[in-house]
Structure 1
C-alpha cells in the first residue's frame, strides 16, 4: 500500500469523523473506500482502540475478517487515530513539514523527498512534531519500526533513508 494512499485514507477518516453532517461524512468514507479499493484493500476503523486499519481485500468476506486467509499480518496497515490533537496545531506542523519535503525535493530529488514525506507523516501523526525537531529515539523508531512496515520504500529509497533524514534536519533548520 503506497504511503500517500495510507495518508489520504487517514485524512479522509479524520474528515469523516469531524464532519458536521452525516452526508458529508459518508462522502469522505466512500472516497476512502474507493482509494484503498484501487489497491485491493478494505478500510475499517477499529473502535476499541481508535485505529484505522486497511486490510487486504482477500481477507474480508461479507464485511468480516476471515482469519484462515491471513498469511502475513504485516500486510495490513494500522494508523492510530487517537494520538495527539490533530486540529489547527497538526495543520501547522504539516505545513512546516510539507515545506521541508518540498525543499528537499527541489534540492536533492524525489528519492530523498519520498523518504522525508514518510518521516513527516510519522512525526506529524505520532508525535505532532516537525521533522527537524525529531529526537534520536524518534528517528530510530522511524527507521526500525515505521519505515520498513509503512513506507514501502524502493531499494533506492531504503539505501539513502538515513541521509534523507539528515537532509531534512539540515533543511528544517533554515525554515
Structure 2
C-alpha cells in the first residue's frame, strides 16, 4: 500500500537494504515473511482483477500486522521499492523521525530490476517449472540450489534464470547466497554445478561461472 503522506524519514531508513534483516534469527521480520511479503506485493502489482488485488494486499498486511509492521511503496529515482518498517514509527499515517530508534529494523525490497517485465508472475512460473525439472532430473540438493537461483533471478532481475549473465551469476554466488540464503554444506559444495545444470536443463549455453 502506497503512503502518499510518508516523509523523508523513511527514505532515510531506506538507506538500509533488505540484508539488515536477512538473518532469520535476527530483527523483526523472519526471512520467510519477507519473501512472502515480496511475493504477494509482486502478485498484487501484476493482477488485473480488483478482488484478487485486494486479497493479495490484505494477506500481505495481515502478515506484517502479525509483527507490528507496515509497508509502503517508495519511488526511488523512478524505481519502486517496497519498504517495510515498524508500525510504531507512524503517527496518523506519517513516519515520525523521533520514533525511529533503530533504522536496521526496516527492510527494503526493490521491485524493479534491470529487466522488469509487466508479467513478473509468468517469469516466476517459468523459473519454478525449471526448478522442478532440475529437481526431478538431478535430485533435491541441486533442486534446492535451483530454487535459490529462481528467487534471485525473479526478485532481483525479474528475468528467467537461463538469461542471467556471468556478472549476475557472480553476484548470486558471491553475494546473494551469502547474505540472503542459508544453504546446507552439501548445497554450497555443488552450487556452481547446480547453476550449470539449470542452464543445461533449459537447453541454453552455460555462461562463465565464477564462484
Same fold (TM over 0.5): yes
Query: Where do 1:42-81 residues align within 5 Å?
Result: 42-49=69-76, 50-55=80-85, 61=88, 63=90, 67-69=100-102, 73=104, 77-81=107-111
Distance change >3 Å, CA 95–CA 28, structure 1 → 2: closer
Which of the two has greater helix per residue? 1
Aligned partner of 1:102 in structure 2 is 132
Q: Which has the larger radius of gyration?
A: 2
Q: Distance in 2 between matches of 1:132 and 1:167?
A: 10
1:87 alignment partner, one of 118, 125, 128:
118
Q: 1:25 Cα shift? A: 3.9
Q: Does 1:126 align with 2:146?
A: no
Q: Does 1:34 align with 2:73?
A: no
CA contact (8 A) 1:132 1:168 kept: yes
1:162 alignment partner, one of 192, 196, 206:
192
CA contact (8 A) 1:12 1:32 kept: yes
The answer for unaligned runs of 5 or more in structure 1 is: none
TM-score norm. by structure 2 comes to 0.61
Distance change >3 Å, CA 76–CA 167, structure 1 → 2: farther
Deviations 1:53-100 (A, max 9, x none): 345xxx552545854345xx4x75432113344323x34433332221
CA contact (8 A) 1:3 1:118 kept: no
Aligned pairs, number: 166
Distance change >3 Å, CA 131–CA 12, structure 1 → 2: same
Distance change >3 Å, CA 145–CA 173, structure 1 → 2: same
The answer for unaligned runs of 5 or more in structure 2 is: 1-23, 25-29, 205-211
What secondary structure sits across from 1:79 in the alignment? strand
Distance change >3 Å, CA 114–CA 41, structure 1 → 2: farther
Aligned partner of 1:114 in structure 2 is 144
